[in-house]
Structure 1
Amino acid sequence: MSLWADKYRPKTLDDLDYHGKISNMLSSLATSGDFPHLLFHGPSGAGKKTRILATLRQIYGPNIEKLKVDPKVFVTATKRKLEFNVVSSPNHLEITPSDMNNNDRVVIQDLLKEVAQTETIDFTHVADHKNRFKVVIINEAELLTRDAQAALRRTMEKYSANIRLVLVCNSISSIIEPIKSRTLLIRVAAPTDEEMGSVFEKVLRDQPEVAKSFPADETERQQIYSKIAKVTDHNLRTGLLLLEALYSYNPSITTKTPMIMPDWENVIKKLAIGIVTERTVSKLQQSRTDLYELISHSIPAKLILKKLTIEFWRLVDEDSKIKDKDTVKMDIVQQASIFDERLSLGSKDIFHLEGFITKVMVVLEKNVS
């Protein structure tokens, strides 16, 4: 049994429930035979990857769903061997070079060169043999180092006849201008409350037994949907998971039913509260346990840093003992930006997260009356 987020994931552009203009544009690109490099950007859970896969399905047909995972071995300049997993179908590849940290340039140079120099042989599902190229999806493009982005730019210029690149990122602020100018930028905004509600209604119509647990009144259901949208920051994927969790844990769901938060978010909230209330060395030592626990459960260090920063902001606003709250919040953001960069450059995430917490303790200690 698959999760609702996977079960109800649209497979074609016609099945998508919102951002109709983007779907129409992608459909036109897929049939035009002049498919450019693309740069999708927007918040998590907005539907970027779903739209990309639906577009590729229109170009190549169901072949795009015949996925396999291939381990690739790359050799760095220091003769160090690195193993990297590549998800691929007969017509496309999906990679996340940022997983290799500072060695992402090696992946870009070697893998894309290998793919670009090998022409696609299977044209069974390619109409009129127009699209004689492979598509490479690059996840988390905003985390690529400058060297990797420079290598990517050269690849786009040299091998554009054989490959098309589709970059996926949350923000384009760290993408270099030469890449932006060589791609078609497509922003996929987060769905609104109403758009998320329409998706949830579609799921409930397909699950009559589940629908019985929700209010019969449409207004009450919309209130529940709005609460889900707010709690998940309009992340549709997380919203579907939360909707399924609410049904699993509650025989009857009303507007007063408490939302279910992920355990890791609760851990971060408690960690932030402890740091604001007790700025001591012993508390710093205790925080290491929580950080290790989060990292060991595959919570990205940058996400931990982001969530901690947001929690610190909220707690500073609520704490009456803190003087000059605006200055404190700006100092916290400044420290977050410093350690965000260090997380990209370094290899031991725990050191940088602990360093951030220490700096926040110092900022708070100087401004507590």
Structure 2
Amino acid sequence: MHAFLKGATVQSTKPQKEKATAGPSGEKKPKALPWVEKYRPKCVDDVAFQEEVVAVLKKSLEGADLPNLLFYGPPGTGKTSTILAAARELFGPELYRQRVLELNASDERGIQVVREKVKNFAQLTVAGSRSDGKPCPPFKIIILDEADSMTAPAQAALRRTMEKESRTTRFCLICNYISRIIEPLTSRCSKFRFKPLANQIQHQRLLDICEKENLKYTNESIEALVRVSEGDLRKAITYLQSAARLNTDKEITEKAVVEIAGVVPTKMIDNLLEICFKGTFEKLEVAVKNIVDEGYAATQILGQLHEAIIERDISDKQKSAITEKTAVVDKCLADGADEYLQMLSLCSVIMEQAEKNN
């Protein structure tokens, strides 16, 4: 009875599945993917702006052995994309799933997982060749993404496995902050720093995507994307897709990009600073309340205020007092303090420093 039911469910779901993927003419529709995944580099050569890493990996792909790797640098610079592209080229599409274990920060990666899951995968020996006849390396790859969020005991448990299983397994640790990786692990890996992407490189990638997706855009909108993403290509591509969905038929404008990114309009920041330097405390209270009530993130306001203060024509002593307060407010906001009170606290320090100028 159970077997019959099991078979029946398989039969009933199959036509539905085909119906979902088949178009009106019977052809299968391409899967809808986020553009970040759709335009992720498929091979090492496609990785932008990270020449040293690409050079080392290309040598490994030519037959030289691969060391344990440690990739670190800001988000959205291609760390995960690079190792995934290299693994696909090394093992081919068929063996890729068997030979690569990828664990992210969202997975459980405490000491127990390192001792069991990682250790068991590392101990497996690999055999078999690629169907296309290309040579296949005799090792597996374990990718530990966001490795800086692993606990110190879990990292310590990893170092012995790294050494013991070096014949059959290579590790690739990926993190934003190398200082959070324990010294014994960093000394066992070849370290590569991923630089924030140059504006020109980002500009080119975004233009390529616009061309492939047949988007209408202005040069100002592409420049705005590069500016608000601050070297993070993933963020820039996500904003571009959001802007394209928002203006389906119309041109993507700079205004749309700025709104999607949640950037506070320069006019608002200038107005707030003007009140700090020349207004009264009552006016300041109202201005801060308005800007917070508009729904802008306090951290975003903080960043833009900081930039504006650095460019302002005041003494270095005043700038240092304001930036010190900015750091304190940033920490308080990270700890969950009230946004309005923190912004008011910072603006009152700016006002206090401005009075010394008069």
Same fold at TM > 0.5: yes
How many angstroms apart in 2 are the aligned matches of 1:31 and 1:356? Answer: 56
- Contact residue 217 and residue 251 of structure 2 kept, 8 A: yes
How many angstroms apart in 2 are the aligned matches of 1:97 and 1:152? Answer: 16
User: Once the 2 structures are TM-superposed, how far is the Cα of residue 8 of structure 1 from its aligned partner?
Assistant: 1.7
Q: 1:260 to 1:316 in 2, by over 3 A?
A: closer
- Contact residue 102 and residue 143 of structure 2 kept, 8 A: yes
1:216-261 CA-to-partner distances (Å, cap 9, x unmatched) read xxxxx2x432210111112111211222222222344366433155
SS in 2 for 1:90: helix
- Contact residue 39 and residue 168 of structure 1 kept, 8 A: yes
SS in 2 for 1:9: coil
- Contact residue 69 and residue 173 of structure 2 kept, 8 A: yes
1:269-310 CA-to-partner distances (Å, cap 9, x unmatched) read 9xxx9xxx77xxxx9xx99xx9xxxxxxxxxxxxx9976874
Q: How does 1:254-265 map to 2 (within 5 A)?
A: 256-261=254-259
Counterpart in the other structure of 2:231:
234
Q: Tell me, yes or no, if structure 1 residue 3 matches structure 2 residue 9.
A: no
- Contact residue 92 and residue 130 of structure 2 kept, 8 A: no
TM-score (norm 1): 0.65
Counterpart in the other structure of 2:93:
62
User: Once the 2 structures are TM-superposed, how far is the Cα of residue 178 of structure 1 from its aligned partner?
Assistant: 1.8
Q: Tell me, yes or no, if structure 1 residue 326 matches structure 2 residue 302.
A: no
Counterpart in the other structure of 2:246:
249
- Contact residue 39 and residue 185 of structure 1 kept, 8 A: yes
- Contact residue 40 and residue 187 of structure 1 kept, 8 A: yes
Q: 1:162 to 1:261 in 2, by over 3 A?
A: farther
- Contact residue 229 and residue 239 of structure 1 kept, 8 A: yes
Q: How does 1:120-159 map to 2 (within 5 A)?
A: 120-124=126-130, 131-159=137-165
- Contact residue 142 and residue 171 of structure 1 kept, 8 A: yes
Q: Tell me, yes or no, if structure 1 residue 47 matches structure 2 residue 78.
A: yes
Q: Tell me, yes or no, if structure 1 residue 27 matches structure 2 residue 58.
A: yes
Q: 1:313 to 1:249 in 2, by over 3 A?
A: same
CA RMSD in angstroms comes to 4.1
SS in 2 for 1:32: coil
Where structure 1 has 5 or more consecutive residues not aligned to the other structure, the ranges are 66-88, 216-220, 291-303, 340-349
How many angstroms apart in 1 are the aligned matches of 2:44 and 2:210? Answer: 21
Q: Tell me, yes or no, if structure 1 residue 160 matches structure 2 residue 166.
A: yes
- Contact residue 45 and residue 238 of structure 1 kept, 8 A: yes
- Contact residue 243 and residue 260 of structure 2 kept, 8 A: no
User: Once the 2 structures are TM-superposed, how far is the Cα of residue 325 of structure 1 from its aligned partner?
Assistant: 5.9
For 1:168, give the aligned amino acid.
I
User: Once the 2 structures are TM-superposed, how far is the Cα of residue 132 of structure 1 from its aligned partner?
Assistant: 2.1
TM-score (norm 2): 0.66
Identity %: 26
Q: 1:260 to 1:328 in 2, by over 3 A?
A: closer
Among candidates 213, 217, 222, match of residue 214 of structure 1? 217
SS in 2 for 1:189: coil
Counterpart in the other structure of 2:116:
110
Q: Tell me, yes or no, if structure 1 residue 94 matches structure 2 residue 102.
A: yes
Where structure 2 has 5 or more consecutive residues not aligned to the other structure, the ranges are 1-31, 273-283, 353-358
How many angstroms apart in 2 are the aligned matches of 1:19 and 1:254? Answer: 29
Q: 1:122 to 1:312 in 2, by over 3 A?
A: farther
- Contact residue 239 and residue 260 of structure 2 kept, 8 A: no
Q: 1:8 to 1:109 in 2, by over 3 A?
A: same
How many angstroms apart in 2 are the aligned matches of 1:5 and 1:353? Answer: 31
Which protein has the larger Cα radius of gyration, Structure 1 or Structure 2? Answer: 2
For 1:333, give the aligned amino acid.
A
Q: 1:197 to 1:312 in 2, by over 3 A?
A: closer
Q: Tell me, yes or no, if structure 1 residue 353 matches structure 2 residue 311.
A: no
Counterpart in the other structure of 2:20:
none
User: Once the 2 structures are TM-superposed, how far is the Cα of residue 315 of structure 1 from its aligned partner?
Assistant: 9.1
1:141-193 CA-to-partner distances (Å, cap 9, x unmatched) read 12222222211222212221221110111121222222111101112212211
1:8-62 CA-to-partner distances (Å, cap 9, x unmatched) read 2221123334334432321112333411100011111111111111111111011
How many angstroms apart in 2 are the aligned matches of 1:63 and 1:123? Answer: 10
Counterpart in the other structure of 1:176:
182
How many angstroms apart in 2 are the aligned matches of 1:146 and 1:126? Answer: 42
Q: 1:361 to 1:260 in 2, by over 3 A?
A: closer
User: Once the 2 structures are TM-superposed, how far is the Cα of residue 124 of structure 1 from its aligned partner?
Assistant: 3.2
SS in 1 for 2:236: helix
Counterpart in the other structure of 1:200:
206
Among candidates 67, 73, 92, match of residue 36 of structure 1? 67
For 1:330, give the aligned amino acid.
E
